[in-house]
Chain A
């Protein structure tokens, strides 16, 4: 059939957002290719989740329900995914670029000798001509990702090997349910036929799950601070501005390294990628590794004492002056002028 596979992550009895985002993307790719979308659902007590996958466009859900499949372990999940790929021969397989997807994806690709591209920011369908051989390929998956510390954007293709595999980070693709769930088919996987004792050599002794408290990805407004903020106390001003505007506080790597902000707030290549409607960069010089994570913002305001800071090259408004002073004025002005 050569369909599209999406590996769906389950955590605390819920399907991860990134998996629903990938189903949404997979649906549009399947439409373009004229093939079906198949979801892989591995875990335990999954009955309630299948309908949700149909709502996001899955035509088929392969359910592997077994107490040994939850929580996630590398080898058992690899064994099931490998078996399903061998059986169904999908042309494309997508996973989240999470700790699970980045643990599982390379393992599967290595076993099947298929190409995998990590952390794609865009997936498209297109044709390809191999330079060396002149051979033409129709309808390949273009796997587009930043590389080299965000300094280049590379388009990767897998001409010969199947499936074409890619991981995508959470929040990069849009999540969109169908108006009504479509009638799909559930296929039960016979887990015991696939797993063996050797798959359980790694054992989980303890898990301390902390729900993520800080989440700047979904914020429409981000007030972000850099090393130029000078201190943790000054960073408090950014929290005040963010609270006033209904936004979240972000930070550059330098500010996080200096202890001004928590790592979860870090924006950029090694942090979170954000695209809010407004990004206020306070005391951020604008190194590429930072701008790679925020240059898709609809509007950027930069506040910096240095009129020539690189961040100003991508800013819509560049305010030159003392950052604390300007932030205080913005808070005051907003309170005076908002309804």
Chain B
């Protein structure tokens, strides 16, 4: 039996950009971001499942989440606990704000330096940015190798880990030793649902800030000495490192301009489904060489 692994899953709370309904549109035709629900980034859930499967196979292994964001991102840690994780760290500090992918990866790598995992698993990319950069950038900062676009961790014998990757043109199987950063593609197995026992166990899990801000949560406050219910919060001072490399100052990329996509009504020709309309349209398309 391989010795127990400590696995950290990188997860991000993202606005749900996939289903922008009418209620999330402003009158000027742009998206009202505040109206979008905050969700667990989908591919990070795929990553969590791969981590939990390793934990199932290798007795004594632990899965911890690491997320960076505002206080409400503690929801991500709780969601992970409900699904089978053992703990988590929320990186939250004003000095982390305004970070691009590089400054984000610096903060995460500093935290990982303190968490000391054997293996880091992350989603390939987050749906709000779709960059797929943070995983490899973290790996480089740690000087660890990486395996991106993973679909399945197929085996681990205590020495070699074998991973199937999903590429544009097919499938590749690779092996590596640990430590390693893996990023998981959305074609991987879906994450298991919440577990009722875990839900009961962790429903009062809170960060210190949450307990302070919500004294009315008497149950959660009464349980504040239970270690397993305390979600760790770290700021810049807790992870150390070069302050200039966090947040806005550590971000080489700057946003010069943002244009909202405006869905303006343009001239649209309305046609019915009757034979004449359809046939006239087809003839017109043939005449102007669009088809034929």
> Shortest CB–CB separation between residue B290 and chain A, in angstroms?
5
A152-B260 contact, Cβ under 8 Å, with A107-B137, A319-B277, A337-B286:
yes
The docked-state distance in angstroms from the alpha carbon of A318 to that of B100 is: 41
Q: How far is the CA of A329 from the CA of B277 in the complex (A)?
A: 10
Contact with A along B115-143 (1 / 0, CB 8 A): 00000000000011111111111111100
- When the two chains form their complex, are residues B252 and A313 in contact, meaning their CB atoms are under 8 A apart? no
- B268 with A316: CB separation less than 8 A: yes
Q: Please, how many angstroms separate the alpha-carbon atoms of A94 and B135 in the complex?
A: 20
Q: Is the interface of B mostly helix, strand, loop or mixed?
A: mixed
Do residues A278 and B281 form an inter-chain contact, with CB atoms below 8 A? no
**Which residues of B have CB within 8 Å of A43?**
none
A99, A288, A318, A325: which contacts B271 (Cβ < 8 A)?
Answer: A318
Find the A residue at minimum CB distance from B277.
A319
Tell whether, in the assembled complex, residue A210 and residue B282 are in contact, meaning their CB atoms are under 8 Å apart: no
Are A329 and B279 in contact (CB-based, < 8 A)? yes
Q: How many residues of B contact A (CB 8 A)?
A: 80
Binds A, one of B76-84, B167-175, B216-224, B225-233: B167-175
Given contacts A103-B136, A109-B137, contact A156 B282 (CB under 8 A): no
Chain B min CB distance to A40 (Å) = 18
Which B residues are in CB contact (< 8 Å) with A299? 290
Known: A102-B148, A333-B282. A148 touches B175 (CB 8 A): no
Contact B136 A155 (CB under 8 A): no
Tell me, yes or no, whether B195 is within 8 Å of chain A by CB: no
B148-163 to A contact mask, C-beta < 8 Å, 1/0: 1100000000000010
B212 near A: Cβ within 8 Å? no
Q: Is the CB of B193 closer than 8 A to any CB of chain A?
A: no
Determine whether the beta carbon of B272 is less than 8 Å from that of A149: no
Question: In whole angstroms, what is the CA distance A151 to B130 when docked?
Answer: 13
Bound Cα distance A333, B137 (Å): 55
A51 within 8 A of B: no
Q: Is A115 an interface residue (CB 8 A)?
A: yes
Q: Mark A87-107, 1 if CB is under 8 A from B, else 0.
A: 000000000001100110111
- Tell me the bound Cα distance from A289 to B31 in angstroms: 12
A113, A269, A277, A317: the one within 8 Å of B252 (CB) = A113
B170 close to A289 (CB less than 8 A) = no
Say yes or no for B237: interface residue by CB 8 A criterion: no
A113 B17 Cβ-Cβ under 8 A:
no
Closest Cβ neighbor of B172 among chain A residues: A207
Question: Is A153 a contact partner of B259 (Cβ separation < 8 A)?
Answer: yes
* Contact A155 B252, CB 8 Å, known A202-B174, A204-B172, A299-B290: no
Residue pair A159, B176 in contact (C-beta under 8 Å): no
Q: How far is the CB of B28 from chain A (nearest CB, A)?
A: 13
List A contacts of B174 (CB < 8 A): 202-205
For the complex, give the distance between the alpha carbons of A202 and B84 in Å: 29
Q: Bound complex: CA of A325 vs CA of B177, how far in Å?
A: 58
Kindly state whether residue A13 has any CB partner on chain B within 8 Å.
no
Question: Per a CB cutoff under 8 Å, which of B176, B260, B265, B292 touches A202?
Answer: B176
A321 within 8 A of B: yes
Taking the complex as formed, is B23 at the interface, i.e. its CB lies under 8 A from any CB of chain A? no
Bound Cα distance A337, B291 (Å):
11
Are A307 and B167 neighbours in the complex by a CB distance under 8 Å? Answer: no
| A116-B261 contact given A99-B149, A202-B174, A307-B270, CB 8 Å threshold | no
- Tally of A interface residues using CB under 8 Å: 89
Bound-state Cα–Cα, A285 to B246, Å: 42
A315: interface (CB < 8 Å): yes
A295 CA / B18 CA spacing, docked (Å)? 17
A287 touches B285 (CB 8 A): no
Question: Do B131 and A313 touch (CB < 8 A)?
Answer: no
Known contacts A106-B137, A313-B263, A318-B268; is-contact A154 B255 (Cβ 8 Å): yes
Q: Is B189 positioned at the interface, with any CB of A under 8 Å from its CB?
A: no
**Cα of A223 to Cα of B27 in the assembled complex, Å:** 31
Q: Which residue of A lies closest to B250 (CB)?
A: A113
Q: Is A23 positioned at the interface, with any CB of B under 8 Å from its CB? A: no
Chain A, Cβ-Cβ closest to B257 = A155
Of chain A, the residue at the smallest CB distance from B283 is A337
Q: Quick one: CB contact mask for A289-321 with B, threshold 8 Å, 1 for yes?
A: 100100000010101000100101111111111
A157→B271 contact, CB < 8 A? no
Tell me the minimal C-beta distance from A118 to chain B in angstroms. 4
Is A48 in contact with chain B by the CB < 8 A criterion? no
Other than the given A151-B17, A206-B172, 15 more pairs (CB < 8 A) read: A107-B136, A107-B139, A115-B253, A118-B131, A119-B130, A153-B259, A155-B255, A157-B253, A210-B170, A246-B291, A287-B19, A310-B263, A313-B268, A316-B269, A334-B291
- Chain B interface residues toward A at CB < 8 A: 15, 17-20, 30-31, 33, 100-102, 105, 127-141, 145-149, 162, 165, 167-177, 180, 251-261, 263-273, 275, 277-279, 281-283, 285-286, 290-292
25 contacts across the A-B interface (CB closer than 8 A): A74-B145, A99-B148, A103-B136, A107-B139, A107-B146, A115-B102, A116-B101, A116-B102, A117-B131, A119-B130, A147-B128, A147-B130, A148-B17, A148-B128, A152-B31, A155-B255, A156-B256, A208-B170, A278-B291, A314-B263, A314-B266, A321-B272, A336-B279, A337-B282, A338-B286
Which residues of chain A have a CB within 8 Å of any CB of chain B?
A: 11, 74-75, 78, 98-99, 102-103, 105-107, 109-111, 113-119, 128, 130, 142-143, 146-161, 201-212, 221, 245-246, 269, 277-278, 287-289, 292, 299, 301, 303, 307, 310, 312-322, 325-326, 329-330, 333-334, 336-339
